[in-house]
Amino acid sequence: MDDSALIPKGVKRCPFRQFALWIGIAGIVLLWGVYAMFLCWFKGLNQTNMNDAYGFALWIWADLAVIAVGGGAFFSGFLRYLVGKDELKNIINYAVLIGFICYSSALLILAIDVGQPLRAWFIFWHANVHSMLTEVAFCLSCYFAVLTIEYIPLILENRQINKVPFFHNLAHNMHEIMAIFAATGAFLSFFHQGSLGGVAGVLFGRPFSYREGVLIWPWAFFLFTWSAAAYGPCFTILITKITEVITGKKLVKDNVIELLAKISGWMIITYTAAKLIDTIYWAAVTAPSMGFTIDHFFGTSIYGIWILGAELILGGIAPGLILISEKGRKSPFGLWVAVIFGVIGVSLNRWVMVLQTMAVPVLPFEEWYLYIPSWQEVATTVLPVAYGVILIMISYRYMPIFPQEQELNPID
C-alpha cells in the first residue's frame, strides 16, 4: 500500500509497512486494555482492588497525572496567544496534540471508573453545586471540547483533506479565532486543575491532604494549577525529544525548546518555593491543630519521609535549577534529566495526594492500609499510553505537526 499522497509535502516518512508494524504492536497493548475495560464495564468494579478504603485509586492518580502533564497545552496556548510568545507557534501543534491525548485519556479512564458510563450525563443534569468534582467535570468536558477544536485544523490541513475548499476555509477560519478558544481553554484549565487539588485539600477528615486556604479554596487548589502550568511544558518537551530520537530527526529548533524550558524552570522554582512554604505551614500548624505530627504521615517504608524529599528536591528544586540556568537547559543531558525528573516529580505529587491520603490511618484503631492494583486496573491505565502512541504516530505521519521540520530536514 502506498500512502505517499497523504503525507505532508517536503518531509520524509518511513515505509508504510514499517509504520503498520509499529501501529500493530501498539494496537496489541491497546486491545489488552480494551479487554480489561470491557471486563470492568460488564462485570463491574469488583474487577478492581478498590474498596471502602480506596474509593480513589490507580485510575484517579492516572487521571490527575495526565491532566497535570497535559497542562502543557493550555499553558503553551496561554503563552502563545495571550502573552504573545510567537516562537511557540513552532511547538504549539504538538502541545495541543499531547494535551488532546492526555485529556481524552483522562475522560476514558473516568468513563471506566464511574462504573455506569451511560449515566455520565447525570453530573451535568443533576449537578451537585457544592462539589469540587462537579466543577472538574464541567471544565474537563468543556476544555476537551476546546482541545478538539484546536486539534481539528491539524486534521483539516492534511494534504488531501485540505484540497476540499470547505475544509480549507474551515481550517483557516478556526485559526483566525484560535486566540478566543485558547483564552477559554486557559480559563477552564485554571479552574479544573485547581479543583482537582481542591478535592484533596478540603478533606478535613484526611489531615494528610487537608489544607487551609482563602474563601472556599484550599491552598492545594492554587498549587495544583501552578504545578500543571510548571510541569506541563516539561512533558511537552520530553515527548518532543522522544519523538526526535525515534524519528532520528530534529523537529523543533533549539531556541523554541529553550524558551519553553526557561519558562517552565521559573514556574517550577516558584511553585516549589510555594509548595515548601505550604508544607512547612501544614507540618507546623495545620496538622498539629488536628492532633497529628508529621511523623504520623510518613510511618512506613513505602510512604517514608523520602517520598516528600524526592518530590520537593528531585522533582522540584533539581529540575527547576537546571532549567533556569542557561548552561543547564542548553546541555542535552541537563535538559533530559530536568524534564524527566520534572514529570516524575509532578506525578509523585499526584500519587501522594491521592494514594498516600488514603493509606494514612486517621482513627486510633486503624493501621496503614496499602493497596495493590488489579491487572485490570493496570491494563486500563496502560491503555491510554498505547492510544497516545498510536495517535501521535498517525498525526506525525499525516499532519503538518512540526512547522520547522521541512527546514531542519531538507530532502535532496
Partner 1 sequence: MFPFSFEWAWDMSHYVFHGGLWYALAIIGLGMTYCIGKAVIDTIQGKGGGHH
Binding region for partner 1 (CB under 8 A) = 124-127, 129-130, 134-135, 138-139, 142, 145-146, 149, 157, 162-166, 168-174, 177, 180-181, 184, 187-188, 191
Closer Cβ to partner 1, 168 or 250, answer by number: 168
- Helix 165-176 vs helix 132-156: crossing angle, to nearest 10: 130
Nearest approach in angstroms of CB 174 to partner 1 is 5
Nearest approach in angstroms of CB 169 to partner 1 is 4
Closer Cβ to partner 1, 144 or 271, answer by number: 144
Nearest approach in angstroms of CB 333 to partner 1 is 39
Closer Cβ to partner 1, 126 or 327, answer by number: 126
Cα–Cα distance, 319 to 190 (Å, whole number): 23
Nearest approach in angstroms of CB 380 to partner 1 is 28
Closer Cβ to partner 1, 196 or 261, answer by number: 196
Closer Cβ to partner 1, 194 or 319, answer by number: 194
Closer Cβ to partner 1, 42 or 166, answer by number: 166
Q: Give the other-Cβ count within 10 Å of 112's Cβ.
A: 24
Q: Are 49 and 372 in contact (CB under 8 A)?
A: yes
Nearest approach in angstroms of CB 356 to partner 1 is 30
Nearest approach in angstroms of CB 60 to partner 1 is 22
Angle CA(382)–CA(383)–CA(388) in degrees, nearest 5? 100
